[in-house]
Structure 1
Amino acid sequence: MKLHGKKCQLWSVGLLLAAGAAGLAPASAEGITVPDNAKVRQMPWGEFKLAPRIVEKLAAGEKANIVVGLEGTGIPIQGAEMRMGMARGCENANKELPAECRMVGPVNPDTSRQLSELETILNSGQVDCLALQPPLPNQFTGIMNKYADAGIPVFAINIDAPKSKRFAYYALNEEQAGKINGEATAKLVKEQGIEVKQVAMGSGAPDQPWAQSRMRGFIEGYKSVFPDAKFFNDDKSGLPTGKNFTTQEVLNSVTPFLTANPDVTLFFHTDQGVEGVGNVIRNLNLTGKVFTSGFNVSGPILDAIANGTTLVTIDQGFDNQAQAPVEQCARFLAKGDAPADPLQYLLPIVITKAGGEGQITVDNGRDRLKAASE
């Protein structure tokens, strides 16, 4: 998982009202006629046939049930932002056809519970289009294929299942996002005249493809500004900072690492562990001497950017990752539109102290964080 963060499994009457979403004015009181290219469509993996029950209910003016399934609905930031995005997407979806949007998944990551719920709502006909976050790459290929075989369009979000019968995948291009971070970090180092002797990298999941892609991208982006930069480790040997992604684990792992390696004056972290790295720098009285950059957003991460300890962080835009497939569900059912390229990469939201071209300021970051917390 890539935040890491999570979500609630209630039908969205209360949820969507609270989020300002779904159940808006129907596109047509008489219902809609599903186009032929949505009823039957040739996909790279074979022929897809939309379930006749979906065609019939939309023709009768009933609402399409669009479901967003998360690994964990209560994961900090991710869960709340995904809820916001689903609400926005559902509002826009209702311009195409009558739709109601629902979020499902265990509050905290639980693969067995997540899979069981997906089986239940599939077998009871509660889903007309699904946007799903698998726990790991390709881990839920089987259930996603069951949905597609049952005539339900499926989209992957945040974590991909490229071997499945999914229509498309919505998330960051991890390597590109890492590259953007590395380049932005290097430019700030250059502008501020920071002396960087050696760069080290760490992750809560250094063995995972998403983390290695971010590290690989960071190296490329940083070296585009400083070609001769020295790296302590590479994308295959990032420092493990704690599999549970907690700040305390980062304190326990990065404190002795920086103490033993005084030449490391810049530490890139692939996830919210950047918060802990900032704490380590302050605890060791290395503020102004050692710096960090990373991914994700929290109050302490934004504080660290404001005081100069953290140079760059990437807001993954979880709201955008949920919004896009919800809208795509409506476009497919109403118009037969589907992405030509299954890899629908979204742009990262780059946060620096002062902002700039293609970046937002700390204050802008705080506004997004506040919205996700309300």
Structure 2
Amino acid sequence: MARWIYVIGGLLVTVAFSVFLFYSVRAFNLTPDRPSASYKAPDYRFVLVTEEVDNDYWRLVEKGARAAAEKHHVSLQYTGPKQANLDEHMKMIEMAAASKVDGIIAQGLNQEVSPTIINRVLEKGIPFLTIDTDAPESKRVAYVGTDNYYAGFLAGQALLKDTEGEVKVGIITGRFDSANQKLRVEGFKDAIKGSDRVNVVAIAESQITRIQAAEKTYEMIKDYPDVNAFYGTSALDAIGIVQVLESIGMTDRVYVIGFDVLPETLQLLKEGKLEATVEQKPYEMGYDAVELMIQVLEGDKVSTYHHTMTDVMRQKDLTQTETMTPGGMKQQ
């Protein structure tokens, strides 16, 4: 009896996994099961795989990608792990490839793993564009996004310009294994290395969440009570940093520079609780990536690097006539 229970149990597990795999792949097939008479098939089917599906930054990338997709009659599937997870991210890329979409847009999150996965997709005849985070060791067609080293360098230059005297910096970075985060740290360090008054005292990982950013900030202040500046390299880091500084009454004594122009980030900038933030263009990244993929599929020659604009924003750059657009700040 026990043997039969074991056999039946094994069969149920196998069937359950097969059903899961079927529907996972089917999720990328965006053609309706029973299209109406007025239905017109999209010209192409693309998949955008993100680092964390509900992250505010990635939702801006999605908005840009969807705008371009609608303009060009392209079907776009937006997906990604609920929480940053490299293994899940890679599996979603492989599922997209298994569904035989026309193009895949995703980050090159890990320089050891990503090139293998990307090259495997290309071997299936599916063009692959990296977005936000490049994988230059792979055979990807092109990269769309920030020059992350330069962005980090700008952050370092901004800190040097905005501060005086001895500065001890704590860095809160999204992920230690993420290529774009590494480059932002590297660029920052290179910008300040010529100064004998600015030093990095510690680096901690936030897992691209504000909760972890806050926890690591608090721990860093306990371990290094003389830290008087923070640099956050991912979108939610500065928000978490300021949250802690507010709770212990240190916002007026600590310099903070972050990344991105999320509404909450801009509010902190307006209130003077954040000194500066590196402005990226996530909306443009998504929009440009879709347009670039169409060019690739239509046989056009494209450049390997398509860098979107990067700049440093301070409180003085905010005015009452400025409004938030999906891609950043623009004058009315």
What range describes the TM-score normalised by the shorter chain of this pair?
0.7 to 0.9
1:251 to 181, 189, 214: 214
Deviation string, structure 1 residues 239-289 (Cα, Å, up to 9, x no partner): 2154x3433433333235335545432222222221122122222222322
Q: Does 1:152 align with 2:152?
A: no
Deviation string, structure 1 residues 13-69 (Cα, Å, up to 9, x no partner): 99xxxxxxxxxxx9xxxxxxxxxxxxxxxxxxxxxxxxxxxxxxxxxx961222222
In structure 1, the residue matched to 2:47 is 67
1:131 to 83, 102, 105: 105
Report if aligned partners of 2:30, 2:45 keep a CA contact under 8 Å in 1.
Answer: no
Q: By how many angstroms is 1:11 displaced?
A: 6.7
Q: Does 1:332 align with 2:296?
A: yes
Q: Does 1:346 align with 2:308?
A: yes
Q: Which SS does the other structure have where 1:141 is aligned? A: helix
2-side partners of 1:79 and 1:284: how far apart?
31
Deviation string, structure 1 residues 264-315 (Cα, Å, up to 9, x no partner): 3222222222112212222222232222111134444323212222111124
In structure 1, the residue matched to 2:67 is 88
Report if aligned partners of 1:351, 1:362 keep a CA contact under 8 Å in 2.
Answer: no
TM-score by length of 2: 0.74
2-side partners of 1:256 and 1:66: how far apart?
42
* Equivalences for residues 205-216 of structure 1 within 5 A: 205-206=175-176, 208-216=178-186
Q: Which SS does the other structure have where 2:287 is aligned? A: helix
2:169 to 186, 200, 206: 200
Q: Is 245-254 or 164-173 further displaced after alignment? A: 245-254
Report if aligned partners of 2:96, 2:104 keep a CA contact under 8 Å in 1.
Answer: no
2-side partners of 1:230 and 1:299: how far apart?
30
Q: Is 116-125 or 65-74 further displaced after alignment? A: 116-125
Q: Which SS does the other structure have where 1:354 is aligned? A: helix
2-side partners of 1:317 and 1:156: how far apart?
15
How many residues align? The count is 294
Backbone CA RMSD of aligned residues = 3.4
1-side partners of 2:212 and 2:85: how far apart?
21
1:230 to 194, 198, 218: 198
Report if aligned partners of 1:12, 1:103 keep a CA contact under 8 Å in 2.
Answer: no
Q: By how many angstroms is 1:196 displaced?
A: 4.3
Deviation string, structure 1 residues 208-232 (Cα, Å, up to 9, x no partner): 54334223322444578xx443214
Q: Which SS does the other structure have where 2:275 is aligned? A: strand
Change (3 A) 1:289 1:213: same
TM-score by length of 1: 0.67
Report if aligned partners of 1:174, 1:213 keep a CA contact under 8 Å in 2.
Answer: yes
Q: Which SS does the other structure have where 2:301 is aligned? A: coil
In structure 2, the residue matched to 1:182 is 156
Change (3 A) 1:220 1:362: farther
Report if aligned partners of 2:28, 2:47 keep a CA contact under 8 Å in 1.
Answer: no
Q: Does 1:162 align with 2:162?
A: no
Report if aligned partners of 2:57, 2:262 keep a CA contact under 8 Å in 1.
Answer: no
1-side partners of 2:92 and 2:264: how far apart?
35
1:282 to 235, 246, 267: 246
Give the partner amino acid of 2:161: K
1-side partners of 2:242 and 2:48: how far apart?
34
Q: Does 1:77 align with 2:39?
A: no
Change (3 A) 1:101 1:207: closer
Report if aligned partners of 1:11, 1:103 keep a CA contact under 8 Å in 2.
Answer: no
In structure 2, list runs of 5 or more residues that go unmatched.
1-26, 33-39
In structure 1, list runs of 5 or more residues that go unmatched.
1-8, 15-25, 27-60, 190-194
Q: Does 1:105 align with 2:80?
A: yes
Q: Does 1:119 align with 2:94?
A: yes
Q: Which SS does the other structure have where 1:314 is aligned? A: strand
Q: Percent identity?
A: 20
